[in-house]
Structure 1
Amino acid sequence: MARVVEATKRPTNLSLNAKVLDMARELGMNLSQTVDELLAAEVQRRYWARWNEDNREAIEHYNARIEREGLPLAAYRSFARGGG
């Protein structure tokens, strides 16, 4: 999912907790920007949660293969595995 930096804004109506809204205004918060940023973060979180669920079986098969066969090209690593 590409992160959208600039996008057209669209007006919408929201119903928000009155006390929270009053406090946000009292604190001088930009409500549109705050909601936009939080909504974008939640959309991204849910997108990747869905992607992981949709691809769970393939990921499990891949991980099992790596467990069985090791990492591809592991013999060509130029650094040692193990302790720090």
Structure 2
Amino acid sequence: MMSEASNRAPPPRRRTNLSLDPRLVDEAKELGINLSRTVEHALSTAIAAARAKQWREENKAAIDGTKSWVTKNEAPLRRHRKF
């Protein structure tokens, strides 16, 4: 049985011009590396990291407040832990 994700059509692609080190492009071609998919994966990873950093910065006050509360009051439900 195929997963739902494998039944979906691939997302549309947009032609984009990039400037890359020609030595890297040549070597990637020799090795059969798909440049579009490789750049897409790297860009997706970079976007996820940037969004995570942005979220941490936006929520820093709340995170620090929770850490401070736990330091002063112990973790909620701590007495129920088995470890």
TM-score calculated relative to the size of structure 2: 0.80
Percent identical? 33
Deviation of 1:73 (Å): 1.5
1:47 partnered with 2:51: yes
Letter in 2 for 1:37: H
**Higher helix proportion (structure 1 or 2):** 2
* Two-structure CA RMSD over aligned residues (Å): 1.6
Alpha-carbon distance in structure 1 between the residues aligned to 2:11 and 2:50: 20
Deviation of 1:19 (Å): 1.1
TM-score calculated relative to the size of structure 1: 0.79
Letter in 1 for 2:68: A
Deviation of 1:30 (Å): 0.5
User: Structure 2: any 5+ residue segments left out of the alignment?
Assistant: 1-7
Alpha-carbon distance in structure 2 between the residues aligned to 1:63 and 1:49: 18
How many residue pairs match? The answer is 75
